[in-house]
């Protein structure tokens, strides 16, 4: 079962400000430069009807909604986290296993509880929806399927406040006519490349040989696309005991490509993330910078470290190198926002077996 909370941030705001219900509600990430600078984080469905979507500039959202009396609010992440934690406890209590994959979505394994019967699974889903709505006044959409991949696609198909069940014998017919972009992880670049291969639907993807997919997309992504095209996914629902990455992002005082102007903010971001890393007793195997330019295009540059570390000097030096390489590679780039990320996180365990370095 995949549980997805509908337009979560905006719905939280509607709950604590009931008078804004029925109006276009937009939750924004303000940069602090000017009254309108920043981007849209999310919006309710009424605002989306006007073309407002995540990632567009706040000024653009205001223009799209100028005739609709919109409500624009700053993001209050700590409040949303509190609501999310209460909801996730409700969801967790209904499953044999629980996996939170974001502040507004989670999977639960219900095979045992439902005796592998989809009618009983539907009853569980209805109860989950009822409890969340009664206790937190939040609607959600639920997808039920034989695996996580199809359950996720099913919930996306029924938003908002929906419930969709895809039984094993229905998987191929359900997926078949959907565009390949509906597969989780298939972004614009992968979709465009598949379209160039005359693959537009999931049914068409299922007819492509694994060798061709691996040749075009590499072993990992090619294998994933091959299985996804057939609705196959054997990844279990499991608790995520530790983060897979840590990141921070901030806005520069002005658009610039001046390295001495960028580095102090980047140092602060790297230092803050490294402190978190050490508090968790973890090391990172790679670092990355994220640059958002004045045209709002997003660019990343990453580096795999010689060995996992939590040493701030090592991490900061790698970050400086990446920033310089990025600016050198894009001589016209003007940076608006800068971010820093560490990934391939692990907890040191002492002796390391060679098998831990091998991908099976």
Tokens representing 167? 């039984």
Nearest alpha carbon to residue 322 among 300, 342, 349, 353? 300
Q: How many CB atoms lie within 10 A of CB 19?
A: 8
Q: How many CB atoms lie within 10 A of CB 239?
A: 9
Cα(16)–Cα(132) distance, integer angstroms: 16
Q: Cis peptide before 153, with omega less than 30 degrees from 0?
A: no
Cα(92)–Cα(238) distance, integer angstroms: 11
Distance between first and last Cα of the chain: 27
Say which of 105, 136, 215, 312 is annotated catalytic.
105
Tokens 């986290």 found at: 81
Nearest alpha carbon to residue 46 among 28, 21, 27? 21
Q: How many CB atoms lie within 10 A of CB 32?
A: 10
Is residue 215 annotated as a catalytic residue, yes or no?
no
**12, 103 contact by CB (below 8 A):** no
Tokens representing 347? 């907890």
Tokens representing 349? 């365990």
Q: What is the dihedral of CA 216, 219, 221, 223, to 10 degrees?
A: 100
How far is Cα of residue 331 from the mean position of the Cα atoms in its chain?
A: 30
Helices (H), the chain: 8-16, 45-48, 58-64, 77-92, 118-136, 148-157, 171-176, 188-196, 202-206, 210-217, 219-228, 259-279, 312-329
Residues classed as catalytic: 105
């Amino acid at each position: 079962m995949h549980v997805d909370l509908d337009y979560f941030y905006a719905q939280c705001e509607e709950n604590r400000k009931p008078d804004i219900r029925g109006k276009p509600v937009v939750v924004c990430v303000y940069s602090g430069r000017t009254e309108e600078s920043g981007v849209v984080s999310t919006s309710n469905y009424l605002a989306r009807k006007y073309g407002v979507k995540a990632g567009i500039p706040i000024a653009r959202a205001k223009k799209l909604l100028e005739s609709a009396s919109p409500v624009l609010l700053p993001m209050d992440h700590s409040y949303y986290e509190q609501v999310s934690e209460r909801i996730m406890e409700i969801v967790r209590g209904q499953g044999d296993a629980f996996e939170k994959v974001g502040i507004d979505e989670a999977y639960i394994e219900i095979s045992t509880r439902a005796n592998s019967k989809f009618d009983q699974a539907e009853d569980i889903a209805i109860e989950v929806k009822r409890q969340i709505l009664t206790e937190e006044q939040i609607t959600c959409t639920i997808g039920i399927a034989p695996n996580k991949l199809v359950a996720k696609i099913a919930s996306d198909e029924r938003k908002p406040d929906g419930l969709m069940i895809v039984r094993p014998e229905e998987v191929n017919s359900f997926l078949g006519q959907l565009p390949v972009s509906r597969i989780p992880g298939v972004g614009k670049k992968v979709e465009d490349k598949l379209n160039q291969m005359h693959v537009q639907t999931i049914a068409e993807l299922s007819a492509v040989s694994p060798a061709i997919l691996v040749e075009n997309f590499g072993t990992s992504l090619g294998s994933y696309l091959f299985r996804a095209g057939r609705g196959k996914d054997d990844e279990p629902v499991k608790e995520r005991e530790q983060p897979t990455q840590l990141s921070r992002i901030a806005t520069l005082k002005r658009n610039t490509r001046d390295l001495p102007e960028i580095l102090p903010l980047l140092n602060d971001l790297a230092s803050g993330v490294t402190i978190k890393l050490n508090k968790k007793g973890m090391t990172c195997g790679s670092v990355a910078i994220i640059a958002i330019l004045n045209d709002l295009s997003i660019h990343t540059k990453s580096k795999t470290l010689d060995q996992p570390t939590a040493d701030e000097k090592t991490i900061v030096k790698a970050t400086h190198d990446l920033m310089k390489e990025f600016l050198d590679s894009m001589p016209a780039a003007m940076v608006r926002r800068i971010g820093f990320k560490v990934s391939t996180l692990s907890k040191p365990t002492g002796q390391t077996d060679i098998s831990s370095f091998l991908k099976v």
